[in-house]
Structure 1
Amino acid sequence: MKIGFVFEGKLIKKIQFQKGSTAVLTIGRIEGNDIVLSLPQISKKHAQLIYDEAGDTYLIDLESRNGTFVNGNKLIPNSPNKISIGDKITLAVENQVELLITQDDFNISSVELKPSTNVDTQTSKTSISEALKGKNKVIIGRNDDCDFVISSPSVSRKHAMIERISDSS
């Protein structure tokens, strides 16, 4: 199992657990944590990840200032919560750090990018610039009514929007 830490759309850290092994990792803003995320919205000791021999992963909020959320629900501090692939996990409310859980690698080729029927295209893979032709914005997400559909549990139904600000080519 692999867990990626994403901030502002960029993968900033990644970890991998091997089945049969165990791990207890702390996540926080300061040195001394196993995973250091030097961001002001992350508490000094924000959360803890536990991976057990059975391959189950648990997340514990360590009384963080800005909270830890699984599928939109704020975790009760110091209480283990089982997490799995497909869960939407965020640290903090604003300027969130997202945790992506996957079995695959974190490169773009592991995510199938396909245009929906809303995009006028001849090929199965369209560039964003082509999709923007004649449009001011493109919606990216898991939902079929998005302009670009990414079939991955780590992608929200309406995950991102790219908007044309000016047409100075």
Structure 2
Amino acid sequence: MNSNLKVYDEKMNKSVDILAKDYAAIRAGRANPAVLDKVTVEYYGAPTPINQMAAVSVTEARTLTIQPWDRSTLKEIEKAIQTSDIGINPQNDGSVIRLVFPPLTEERRKELSKGISKQGEDAKVVIRNIRRDAMDKFKAMKKSGELTEDDLKAIEKETQDLTDKYCKQIDEMAAAKSKEILEI
């Protein structure tokens, strides 16, 4: 791979990683600790992710158990979950918090599937914007004499191949997540 392309490859890869994290946080009717990744608790004056303050485990197919290492933080964790956009009411028994995931309705599954497709399309737009930035830079390099016409054509093809690779990866991820949601 051309060394000029490495930066753009890393940017595209990072975009795909972000999409993967977003997909992991989608509540699919099954207990998944990743839904808590974006929930933070005010702990000693700093916003702290729940997974750094407690043991988070899946005890049953649709139940997530959160056991804080410091029991005095139980109420703060519960409040953070209630104010988050997870949409599940935590059950606090004094030592652990349980999140019971309700089964998804058919309508909600279809909504989630559409959202997954939209997130995939948005990620592909980001990839294409990175490609456009790369192409602009390479054309400027040709104009300044750093690249020959043949070099420009070769690097443009490599850039397009990279774009196609990441767009295909995004399509596969979106299809897999939609399938997971629709088959529950």
State the TM-score bracket (shorter-chain normalisation).
under 0.3
State the TM-score, normalized to the length of structure 1.
0.24
Higher relative contact order (CA 8 A, sep 6+): 2
Structure 2 length as normaliser, TM-score?
Answer: 0.23
User: Which of the two has higher C-alpha Rg?
Assistant: 2
Q: Which has the higher helix share?
A: 2
